[in-house]
Structure 1
Amino acid sequence: MLALPDEINGFLFDLDGVVTDTAAVHAAAWKRMFDTFLAERNLDPFKLPEDYTRFVDGKKREDGTRSFLESRGVVLPDGDPDDPPEAETVYGLGNRKNALVLTLIAEDGVAVFPDAVALLERVRAAGGRTALVSSSANAEAVLEAVGLTGLFDARIDGVTARERGLPGKPAPDMFLAGAEAVGLPPSACAAFEDALAGVAAGRAGGFALVVGVDRVKDGAHGPSLAENGADVVVTDLRELVEQQ
């Protein structure tokens, strides 16, 4: 038996920082993109991990871009989702960042967290239903690259959110769509997140359990995850498999 409440049959996982070790790649891409933009305006550079954690982690690209720019007193037009990377718009900067992410992934590949795979395999073997709930528009490509597509019954990602007009995290809509996709109410689902916006979304959605996944060295991110809505914080998801 899993060390999780018996009433939980649905397991909704974020991707970056929970299943795949791509959060650092995203953080590096955000910094490179924003630093170039800020330097042209004589503004202080993007700070890691503070600015990443507070303003962009777990959010849709356009929401993260807008949130950080607002923190620096910069207002840009939203533009169009198909704006080219060189466009001086919210969508343009977001697409510039995405191009950098794809370059970094192509150069360095994608690592998978073994503890996440262990938990996914265990819950599926026990009859649980699984969904990926990620703000990333690249989620499908990343899953295919690491061979994990078969571990999820459904996928709600940045592409889905755009097609359906779903607000991004910290709004609960994407997680609620994930629960619906596996045919279960939030009260029968657990949400797994490493981002503050993500655990806040899980809490707002009324899920049975919100698990904060702290991948930061020495568990330094744990208190913030708990403050923002995590019921339990783990540094290794195997804790939820191996406890009896």
Structure 2
Amino acid sequence: MNLRGVVFDFNGVLLWDTHLHEQAWQLFSERLRGRAFTHEEMDRHVHGRNNRHTLTYLSGHELTPTELNSLIEQKEHTYHELAIAAGAEYCFSPGAVALLEQLQQRQIPFTIATASPKLNVDFYYQQLDLARWFDPAKLVFDDGSRPGKPDPALFLAAAAQINVPFTECLLIEDSLSGLEAARRGGAGYIVALGPKEKHASLSSVVGVHQVIAQLDELDVAALFG
């Protein structure tokens, strides 16, 4: 391996807020179509996907920019309310700060590639002191200009922001669509993150090199020399 940089997915990796997004999406699904998402729908149309994809799927038709923006704001404000209500539990995932400190000490460049819209990115910076670790100018989010995962465009753009070829990046993801995007993009080393009960299925995903339960399980010295 010749790894020189790190690209993080955000939700479900650095921030374990998947349950909050699921709650927000379930409330929104019931409001829009009168029923909640099934587990299969969550995996295919929510986890790792951008809002355009999920809201188009829920609506059953192409949305105008005005419709899309309105629905995004409604859904994300629901998420924000749930996050604020979580209080101190709304924080970086276990092992995240320790890993970020190691990367900084070793001067290994890193950034985030997230399917979240700017509305949420601004919320993360406000609530999590994200600027301590991540330069906003180098963070890549869903601004509507790129296709969503499993297309690798988001990850390739993030690698370009830290001036490291994606083929020399460690990529950490938790969603199946994100892992497929990493494989398609040719990530140098793909790490899947998830609870122990999902490790067998995550290990079987094509392209995945390692599966972990939390971020401090990564051996930075071994990966980066």
Q: Same fold (TM over 0.5)?
A: yes
Q: What is the TM-score with the length of structure 2 in the denominator? A: 0.86
In structure 2, the partner of 1:107 is 85
Q: Unpaired segments of 5 or more residues in structure 1?
A: 84-89
Among 158, 163, 167, the alignment partner of 1:183 is 163
Partner in structure 2 of residue 129 of structure 1: 109
Counterpart of 1:193 in structure 2 is 173
Deviation at residue 221 of structure 1 after TM alignment: 5.7
Q: Give a deviation string over 1:171-205, Cα, whole Å, max 9, x none.
A: 10010000000011112111111111111111111
Partners in 1 of 2:197 and 2:18 — Cα distance?
A: 16
Cα-Cα RMSD? 2.2
Deviation at 1:209, TM superposition (A): 0.7
Q: CA deviation at 1:231?
A: 2.2
2 CA distance for matches of 1:111 and 1:181? Answer: 25
Percent pairwise identity: 26
How many residues are paired up? Answer: 216
Partner in structure 2 of residue 156 of structure 1: 140
Residues 172 and 38 (structure 1 numbering): CA distance in 2 closer, same or farther, change over 3 Å? same
Question: Structure 1 residue 19 and structure 2 residue 14: aligned?
Answer: yes
Q: Take 1:65 and 1:139, find their aligned partners in 2: how far apart are those partners?
A: 19
Q: Residue 219 of structure 2 corresponds to which residue in structure 1? A: 241
Q: How much has 1:127 moved relative to structure 2?
A: 1.3
Moved more, 200-209 or 132-141: 132-141
Deviation at 1:228, TM superposition (A): 5.2
Structure (1/2) with the larger helix percentage: 2
Counterparts of 2:31 and 2:221, CA distance in 1: 47
Deviations 1:149-180 (A, max 9, x none): 2222420012xx32xx1111111001000000
The question of whether the paired residues in 1 share the 8 Å contact of 2:202 and 2:211 is answered with: no
Structure 1 residues 122 and 195 mapped into 2: Cα distance closer, same or farther (>3 Å)?
same
Write the distance in 1 (CA, Å) between the matches of 2:64 and 2:104.
Answer: 42
Deviations 1:56-108 (A, max 9, x none): 111110112224x3xxxx6223111x43xxxxxx5544333212112212322
CA–CA separation in structure 1 for the residues paired with 2:220 and 2:156? 28
Q: 1:64 aligns with which of 50, 54, 61?
A: 54
Structure 1 residue identity aligned to 2:132:
G
In structure 1, which of residues 17, 21, 29 is the aligned counterpart of residue 24 of structure 2?
A: 29
Structure 2, unmatched stretches of 5+, are: none
